[in-house]
Amino acid sequence: MDPGLRIERIGGKVFPANTPALFLDRDGTINVDTGYPDDPADIVLRDDIAPAIVAANGANIPVVVVTNQSGIARGYFGWDEFALVNGRVLELLADSGATVDMVLACAYHDAGAGPLTVANHPMRKPNPGMLIEAAKRLGLDLKRSLIVGDKPADMEAGQRAGLKRGWLVDGEAAAIGGLSVLPLRDARDLEGLLAAIRSL
């Protein structure tokens, strides 16, 4: 087993072959980013993300969380704390009727110490490894998949995985290679994202 990677398949929902997915970053996208969160009691959801997940659930689109967790390589916390925090994120989403189907987390970082100290690991965003791994496991059509994140690295990972559309929390409209980036800043932006999910 890969010591710097966690992959959790949640629930047994069956998806059609070659389905697009909704990829989501976690910290700063699903939950308010508190900087290397390691305490479930600190977790607060952002307002505009549960509706997007609910829309994907309703359209039978798999929801896949792809999260860099360099706090583990840096020695700030361990996989046990990650699991507790992540469980709290999923619990708060469930309270809003929103279900995540898979979570992939990458601990590798070049600033760490020990076996997780790896520079430019293929699973760490902006590299596309986690998206490609999810695509293998769920049988995804990456080209039609969407990604929502709060960092340019999220958008770059999407672009390098072959996605065409991304939404950047508090960002600006942009094009990164073949990926069109739209901002996710207000209710109108959210309506656009919901419409895109429903028309997949």
Specify the stretch interacting with Mg ion by CB under 5 A; choose among 14-22, 28-36, 80-88, 121-129. Answer: 28-36
Q: Which of 33, 34, 31 is nearest to 89 (CA)?
A: 31
Respond yes or no: is residue 27 known to be catalytic: yes
Under rule CB under 5 A, residue 38 binds Mg ion: no
Which of residues 28 and 162 has its CB atom nearest to Mg ion in the complex? 28
Specify the stretch interacting with Mg ion by CB under 5 A; choose among 18-26, 51-59, 92-100, 127-135. Answer: 18-26
Q: How far is the CB of 17 from Mg ion (least distance, A)?
A: 30
Q: Which of 68, 63, 67 is nearest to 52 (CA)?
A: 63
Please identify which of the residues 2, 27, 39, 170 carries the catalytic annotation.
27
Specify the stretch interacting with Mg ion by CB under 5 A; choose among 50-58, 71-79, 117-125, 145-153. Answer: 145-153
Respond yes or no: is residue 38 known to be catalytic: no
Instruction: Check: CB of residue 57 under 8 Å from CB of residue 49.
Output: no
Which of residues 143 and 170 has its CB atom nearest to Mg ion in the complex? 170
Query: Other C-beta atoms within 10 Å of 175: how many?
Result: 10
Q: Binder to Mg ion among 38, 101, 133, 150 (CB under 5 A)?
A: 150
DSSP secondary-structure letter at 191? H
Which are the contacts of 166, defined by CB distance < 8 A and separation ≥ 6?
A: 146, 147, 148, 149, 154, 155, 158, 159, 176, 179, 180, 181, 182
Question: In this structure, which amino acid lies at residue 20?
Answer: P
Burial of 115: CB neighbours in 10 Å, binned 0-12, 13-18, 19+ = exposed
Under rule CB under 5 A, residue 27 binds Mg ion: yes
Q: Binder to Mg ion among 25, 38, 156, 189 (CB under 5 A)?
A: 25
Which of residues 111 and 195 has its CB atom nearest to Mg ion in the complex? 111
146-149 vs 5-9, strand pairing mode: unpaired
Under rule CB under 5 A, residue 101 binds Mg ion: no
Which positions are annotated as active-site residues?
Answer: 25, 27
Query: Which residues here bind Mg ion, judged by CB under 5 A?
Result: 25, 27-28, 150
